[in-house]
Amino acid sequence: MSEDPLPGYTGVAREVLSRAGASIGDKVRIVTSDGRVFVGVLMPRYSIKPKPIVVLKLDNGYNIGIRVDESTVVELVKTREAILKEAAAGAPAVIPLLEERPAQKPRERVMVVGTGGTIASKIEYETGAVKPALTAEDLVEAVPEIATIARIEADVLMNILSENMKPEYWVKIVDAIARHIDEGYDGIIVAHGTDTMTYTASAIAFAFRGLPVPIAFVGSQRSSDRPSSDAAFNLIAATLYAAKSDYAEVAIVMHGETGDTYALANRAVKTRKMHTSRRDAFQPINDKPLMRIYPFEKRLEPLQPPLHRRGEQELRVENGFEEKVALVKYYPGMDGEIIDFLVDRGYKGIVLEGTGLGHVGEWLVEPIRRAVDNGVIVVMTSQTLFGRINMNVYNTGRKLIAAGVIPGDDMLPEVAFVKLSWVLAHTSSLDEAKRLMRTNLAGEINPRLTVDLYPRWLQ
């Protein structure tokens, strides 16, 4: 498939541009029908709404939109290739970000597995396009600090928007990580979009039944093309966790507060993206952070012990996820047909996100009983996120238990969903599946919820 020379352009705008043989990045001269003259570089139109408007980048760097019609005259002044060639010829020598090289090469080897998002990138000022850094060299050039911590290598596995992530990709990521651990890397970093990071990181945590090294999931809330990006800070923190910590756990390593002071490594299976946009969006729920990381000082401060330390376990992988699992949020008046539909479509597991201690409308008890009778595993979690499921306190809860619902303890609904997907792929026994869902496999169940595990607005 050849690339569209005029992305975003339709109708008359596209017509007058193609007539001139112009494509994105070319310098053009436009004379509008009311006699105005503009010269600039043709830019893509990233607006979704189709309009007869052509976007030019003027010599002063600004973009403007010009309305065109049939009688607008477009002339090609200079091609994109010629412009880029001139610009490259006039560019000054590249200055490295850091001048001093480490006295000796670090010993630890860290593999950065890329799945999507742009943890490091360059801006093409001519078009405004952001190009991801794809190689280890690019990464180190963009964030030279990481090379002072570890020997960095990169494996760009896929380039997927966070929201487009699927269980089938989890399988590929597990395979890649397992291979790299086997190759002897001292730690793994997974660069991932933030929206579904908890799901993927939890999938990794369940699939590695024996994990000898740290795995850090890292992303950014401000894209890396901007000077205020959190990407470099997070990446340095993740490198410290992967290379220097002795926690052989899957952690999400991101900003610990809004400022650039410290990052937190949080246990993947207890961590949730709790804000649409803040740098410190990732917060542990029903748990505390594993460690605080000071990237500028290159210092790790453990806050609670890990499940396993580096090298304690042999590498053991149980890969694979059942895709016929649903996560269903209960709402007042929810129709039992929704449960029936899933059962009839052959779903093997349903995680319910119920109210309070773990309830749904009593009219759902019968559809749920039917699901269980059909061999579907039904797990209850809570919309409150904080706190533990307890279905013995109220009558509906007791009825649900009687219908065969498994209480999900203090598991996050998303994590219970990933866990059930993994469990159902690795056992055909319903009893075994039920037992595993109630067993703490990767720190996803906190048996003791203490008074301090709850955020307060006023001190």
Partner 1 sequence: MIERKADPKSINPRELGLKVGLEIHQQLDTKHKLFCNCPTILAREGEVEDTFTRQLRPTRSEFGEVDVAALFEWRKGRMYYYHAPRSHSCLVEADEEPPHEINREAIVIGLAVAKALGSRPVDEIYIMRKIVIDGSNTTGFQRTAIIALGGAIKLPSGKKVGIETIAVEEDAARKMKDEGKYTHYNIDRLGVPLIEISTSPDIETPEEAYETALTIGQLLRLTGKVKRGIGTIRQDLNVSIRGGVKTEIKGVQRLDLLPKIVLYEALRQYRLLQIRDELRKRGVTENELRDAARIVDVTSVFKNTQSKIIKRVVSRGGKVLAVRLRKFHGLLGVEVQPGRRFGTELADYARFWGGVGGLFHSDELPGYGITSEELREVYKLTGAVEGEDAVVIVADKELNARKALEAVVERAVQALYGVPKETRAAQDDGTTRYMRPQPGAARMYPETDVPPVEVTEDMLAEAEKIKPVHPLEKIRQLTEKYGLSSDLANQLLRSPYLGLFEELASKYSDKVQATYIASILTNILRSLQREGVPIDNLTEEHIESIVSALANNVISKDAVPDTIKYLAENPTATIEDAVKALGLERMSLDEVERLVEEAIEHNIRAVKERGLAALSKVMGYVMPKVRGRIDGKTVAEIAKRKILEILEREEEKG
The candidate with the shortest Cα–Cα distance to 328, out of 318, 340, 338, 313, is 338
d(CA 42, CA 23): 7
Output the smallest distance, CB 122 to partner 1, in A: 5
Interaction of residue 63 with partner 1, rule CB under 8 A: yes
Binding mask 127-166 for partner 1 (x = CB under 8 A): -x--x----------x------------------------
User: In sequence order, what are the residues at sequence separation of 6 or more whose Cβ sits closer than 8 angstroms to the Cβ of residue 380?
Assistant: 352, 354, 358, 389, 391, 400, 405, 406, 407, 408
- The residue within the footprint of partner 1, chosen from 47, 164, 395, 440 (CB under 8 A), is 47
C-beta closer to partner 1: residue 127 or 313:
127
Contacts to partner 1 from residues 397-436, by CB under 8 A: none
Q: Is 124 a residue that touches partner 1 (CB under 8 A)?
A: yes
- Is 310 among the residues that bind partner 1 (CB under 8 A)? no
Q: What is the per-residue binding string for partner 1 in 83-122, x denoting contact by CB under 8 A?
A: ----xx--xx-xx-xxx----------------------x
Q: In whole angstroms, give the CA distance from residue 359 to residue 381.
A: 9
Site for partner 1 in 177-236 (CB under 8 A): 222, 225-229, 232-233
User: Least distance from C-beta 214 to partner 1, angstroms?
Assistant: 25
104, 163, 184, 259: which one binds partner 1 (CB under 8 A): 259
b/e map of 312-333 (b: 16 or more CB within 10 Å)?
Answer: ebeeebebebbeebbbbebeee
Integer angstrom CA distances of residue 27 from 17, 103, 194: 12, 48, 38
SS3 195: coil
Residue closer to partner 1, measured from CB, 193 or 367: 193
Instruction: Classify 375 in phi/psi space as left (phi over 0), alpha (psi -120 to 50) or beta.
Output: left
DSSP 8-class letter at 59: T
Catalytic residues: 118, 194-195, 273
CA–CA separation, 199 vs 179, rounded Å?
A: 21
* CA–CA distance, 151 with 153 (Å, rounded to integer): 7
Q: Which of 7, 11, 65, 375 binds partner 1 (CB under 8 A)?
A: 65
Residue 295 amino acid letter: P
Q: What SS3 state is found at 181?
A: helix
Interaction of residue 261 with partner 1, rule CB under 8 A: yes
Is 66 a binding residue for partner 1 by CB under 8 A? The answer is yes
CB of 130 to partner 1, least distance (A): 8
Q: Is 303 a binder of partner 1 (CB under 8 A)?
A: no
Report the phi/psi class of residue 415: left, alpha or beta, with left for phi > 0 and alpha for psi in -120 to 50: alpha
Q: Which stretch binds partner 1 (CB under 8 A): 55-63, 179-187, 342-350, 438-446?
A: 55-63
Cβ–Cβ under 8 Å, residues 397 and 390 = yes
Binding residue for partner 1, selected from 109, 172, 179, 278, defined by CB under 8 A: 278
Q: What residues make contact with partner 1 under the rule CB under 8 A?
A: 36, 43, 46-47, 51, 53, 55, 58, 60-67, 87-88, 91-92, 94-95, 97-99, 122-126, 128, 131, 142, 222, 225-229, 232-233, 257-261, 276-279, 296
